[in-house]
Structure 1
Amino acid sequence: MTYRLYVIEDERTIAESIKSFLEPYGYTIELAKDFTSILEEWKEIQPDLIVLDINLPYQNGFYLCQKIREKSTIPILILSARASEMEQVMGMEHGADDYMVKPFHLEVLHAKIKALLRRSYGNFAELAHQEEIQVGELVLSIPQMEIAYRGEIQSLTKNEWKLLHLLLDNAGKVVTRDSCLEALWDDHTFVDDNTLSVNVTRLRKKLQKWGLQDHLQTKRGFGYVYIGSVDADE
């Protein structure tokens, strides 16, 4: 199944960057065109998920969120520069399912979108990722929070699972430390950066059992990457 996302964002650069990043994953991305008739456009597009900005021309995002929620259970992810707790509470009270503050990382936006799609429709947005993510022979189980390799299974802690989930979703791409922290915690300002390193070390130790520790690589000054093509026997 291909999921259709409706991005209601008046900053064209942001809207286009979201579209460019997500389309290779198999989504159909519809960008808002007529901000005077968003509700009519939504009914015409019939998307599976909405990414909604708050500061919009003509109609406030909170108002649109409330009106859409009155007629539909579609997952709505608010994307806004308004960072206060009150604004986030208002977003949820108006019917949003999640709230991301600008500036944001596209990898984290993708992870949140997939989480909303999974909760709403029972599987991931990518056809091959229904209940698991597989890179090479390593399989991450979504519901059980386990990893499996050649028939052997290991359990993961919640943070290990979140971190590996993000890395496998972006296999072959460097994921920044900030993206990892943002995926693990709502506000990484209050989290010791060493905590991320500890979770990476724990994951490597579990991968080492299968000779896969070199697949999880550190890119100094940037972040981490999971490489699926490394020879586990080397």
Structure 2
Amino acid sequence: MFKIFIVEDDKQLVTLLNEHLHKFGFDTQPVDQFDSVLEQFERYSPHLILLDVNLPKFDGYYWCRQIRKVSTCPIIFISAREGKMDQVMALENGADDYITKPFDYDIAVAKINSQLRRAYGKFASTHGDRLIDIEGLKLDVERLTLTFQKQKVEISHTEVRILEELMRRSERVVSRDRLLEKIWDDQVFVDDNTLNVYITRVRKKLMILNIEDALQTIRGQGYRLLPNWGAQS
């Protein structure tokens, strides 16, 4: 049974989420103390988190960053904030998706199931080698890490899926549509800007490893990963 951790201070919404998620066989646990979200998360060890932005004590962006230090489990923001920058900030801080309030509960469940399938189910990366190595850049699909020389950086499930596709098709252009198909169910709508945010995050992770300008944007086509870091190894 999948466990969903609900970090939301609207008690009526929490009640409705609990009732609806239980109908679909999920186990849920709402946060009870908003100054110890991380501790409750670690005790419950959920498969997915529903996280509001506006919270007592610290906002959802803060808690998303704290959770990302210890876990890569899927995080979906649920918020009344509809602005583009709010959604960008959520993704930049480590979220996997963003749902604006008020929302349709069936769509919310579809997005939850989508993230769970990508992280743990039939769409999780299970084919081929679990370690992809190109010119010393090593992607560990299971451990969610990217390593180059003696440096290692942790990455999210979504970043893994993007890098896996780019590395398996190294030096070839990968279309935006192909990346979207690989990382999201096509029956769930995704703002095109979301992919831009994740590409930016992947570039930042590469830069932490001192790999710059390897991930190229091919205007009107997609993206290409050139292994030009080989000379550094």
- Aligned AA (2:11): R
**Deviations, residues 141-167 of structure 1 (Å, cap 9, x unaligned):** xxxxxxxxxxxxxxxxx9xx966xxxx
1:24 counterpart = 2:39 = no
1:67 equivalent in structure 2: 66
In 2: Cα distance, 1:60 partner to 1:123 partner: 33
In 2: Cα distance, 1:101 partner to 1:26 partner: 24
Change (3 A) 1:28 1:89: same
List structure 1 runs of 4+ shifted beyond 6 angstroms: none
Cα drift, residue 186 of structure 1: 5.0
Show the 5 A alignment for 1:104-115.
104-115=103-114
1:8 counterpart = 2:14 = no
Note the residue ranges of structure 2 that are not aligned, 5 or more in a row: 124-180, 193-233
In 1: Cα distance, 2:117 partner to 2:65 partner: 22
- Aligned AA (1:20): E
TM-score (norm 2): 0.53
Show the 5 A alignment for 1:53-202.
53-123=52-122, 183-184=188-189, 186=191
In 2: Cα distance, 1:23 partner to 1:34 partner: 22
| SS of corresponding position for 2:69 | helix
- Aligned AA (2:53): I
Cα drift, residue 123 of structure 1: 3.9
C-alpha RMSD of matched pairs (Å): 2.0
1:136 equivalent in structure 2: none
1:204 equivalent in structure 2: none
| SS of corresponding position for 1:23 | helix
Note the residue ranges of structure 1 that are not aligned, 5 or more in a row: 125-157, 164-182, 188-234
1:39 equivalent in structure 2: 38
In 2: Cα distance, 1:42 partner to 1:184 partner: 28
In 1: Cα distance, 2:84 partner to 2:113 partner: 24
| SS of corresponding position for 2:102 | coil
Given that residues 117 and 123 in structure 1 are in contact (C-alpha distance below 8 angstroms), is that contact kept between their aligned partners in structure 2?
Answer: no
In 2: Cα distance, 1:83 partner to 1:33 partner: 26
In 2: Cα distance, 1:25 partner to 1:37 partner: 28
